[in-house]
Amino acid sequence: MLATHLRNSALRAAFVIGFCILFAFIGIFTYVNFVLVWPPLAICMMAAGFVYFVFVPSFFTTPLAGKMAGTSGTKPALWSGLGLAAIGLPLLLAPRFEAVIAGMILVGVRTFFAQAIVTGFVGRAATTDRGAASGMYFACYFAGGLLGPRYLALSSTVLSGPHACLASPLRSL
């Protein structure tokens, strides 16, 4: 069953996309705190915790992912989600608090959206044993979440500072 899923090119693509989604998401949201608390923004630690309310819009937009995938197709829905998330990345590097928050909202909302689309796609793309395919997808997804912060930490060390580590995903696009 593992070999069957790995021979399926659609599933392999979904596994890689899942890895990349959580890699970028966890990496970005780990290090954006440094951007927020260091100059020029320099918000207090308490306020840095409250910025995670940027995820609230995801409660309303993520359920729309399946509907959009059903009407426009999986690929266009996925790329619209990832494309809008990518538009939010440069905003995370802006010297204005409002721009960083807007970037966080775009990245958060659209990566949740894209993840919902890929999760649904895995179940449709698997020709046998959908549970194993789903498990493989989530193993790749969470592996990306484990490696994202590590890669961005290395970028921050080598390139110096949180802006460097947040710019790393831009370089990989």
Where are the domains positioned within the chain? 2-172
pLDDT of residue 172: 44
pLDDT for 157 equals 56
**pLDDT value for 155:** 64
**DSSP characters over 15-75:** HHHHHHHHHHHHHHHHHHHHHHHSTTT---HHHHHHGGGGGHHHHHHTTHHHHHHHHH-HH
pLDDT at 170: 47
> Tokens 């509907």 map to which residue?
67
Q: Tokens in use for 6?
A: 């790995």
Residue 87: per-residue pLDDT: 94
Divide the 173 residues of the chain into consecutive groups of 10 and give the mean pLDDT of each group. Answer: 86 96 90 86 89 93 94 96 93 93 95 96 94 96 89 63 53 44
Can you give the pLDDT at residue 171? 46
CATH number, domain 2-172, options 3.30.390.10, 3.40.50.2300, 1.20.1250.20, 1.10.150.110? 1.20.1250.20
Tokens of 138: 């989530």
pLDDT (0 to 100) of residue 10: 95
